[in-house]
Amino acid sequence: MFVLFLLAAADDGTTPRIGKPVGDISRWFNERDYRDLQGRGAVRFKVLFSKEGVPTRCTIEASTGNAEVEALACRRVHERFRFQPSHDTDGQQVPHVFVRSVKFGRFDSPAFDAAAQAYAVAIAGAGKEERFGATIDVGPTGVIQGCTARGPRDTVVSGKAVCDALAASWQPLVERDAADEPIRYVRGVSVVVKKQ
């Protein structure tokens, strides 16, 4: 996690956008999947979607260790997951990185839960905690090139301040296509802000 102090700033016009899910996201894993794997494990996976919104790669990032659960998760991703195209700050269609956790039953697994929290970015100051959702545009070198953030309606912290703090703390994260070439992509991240 990253910890920073924020100063409010005006919003700018950069707006990378993640495409909307195609179909009902709650049905990407259905009742039969949950029933068949009840009590067998949990998995956190990362999916790389093409510019067209089709999954091209599924990677297991954390798991309770059940190979059947891991295989089903990635199989369902390729069968059922689709998004409308995502766009970078220049309005160009770009690949999209999507991270999701699925638990088939109840598990008390600190290692799995810690991995699930690794994508939250904490921005700390003094005061009340607020949660923001940010969409970031990440260049081929893994550096943030654009960001948009939204938080509670009554917040005094601007989306630009959140994006600036996130960009300042970001550790470059390069994603690669099937040819192993670095790509520009968009992804969503959670941001926790403690304001003064």
Q: Which residues, 6+ apart, have CB-to-CB distance to 72 below 8 Å? A: 33, 37
Residue span of the structural domain in which 189 resides:
25-194
Candidates 112, 113, 134; CA nearest to 192 is: 134
Per DSSP, what are the bridge partners of residue 47? Answer: 58, 98
Q: What whole-number distance in Å separates Cα of residue 10 and Cα of residue 157?
A: 10
Candidates 168, 147, 173, 169; CA nearest to 158 is: 147
Do the Cβ atoms of 97 and 186 come closer than 8 Å?
yes
Q: What whole-number distance in Å separates Cα of residue 140 and Cα of residue 145?
A: 10
Query: Each residue of 39-78: pLDDT tens digit?
Result: 778 888 999 999 999 999 999 988 888 888 899 899 999 9
Do the Cβ atoms of 98 and 135 come closer than 8 Å?
no
Total domains, the chain:
1
Tell me if 186 is assigned to some domain.
yes
Tell me if 61 is assigned to some domain.
yes
Q: Which two tokens stand for residue 185?
A: 């992509």
Amino acid at 32: R
Q: What whole-number distance in Å separates Cα of residue 132 and Cα of residue 114?
A: 20
Tell me if 129 is assigned to some domain.
yes
Tell me if 112 is assigned to some domain.
yes
Candidates 184, 161, 160; CA nearest to 172 is: 184
Tell me if 4 is assigned to some domain.
no
Tell me if 3 is assigned to some domain.
no
Query: Each residue of 88-103: pLDDT tens digit?
Result: 999 999 999 998 888 8
pTM for the whole structure: 0.77
Query: Each residue of 141-190: pLDDT tens digit?
Result: 999 999 988 888 777 677 888 888 888 888 888 999 888 999 999 998 88
Candidates 116, 176, 159; CA nearest to 11 is: 159
Between 81 and 126, where is the model more confident?
81
Tell me if 162 is assigned to some domain.
yes
Consecutive H or E run containing 134: strand 129-138
Tell me if 76 is assigned to some domain.
yes
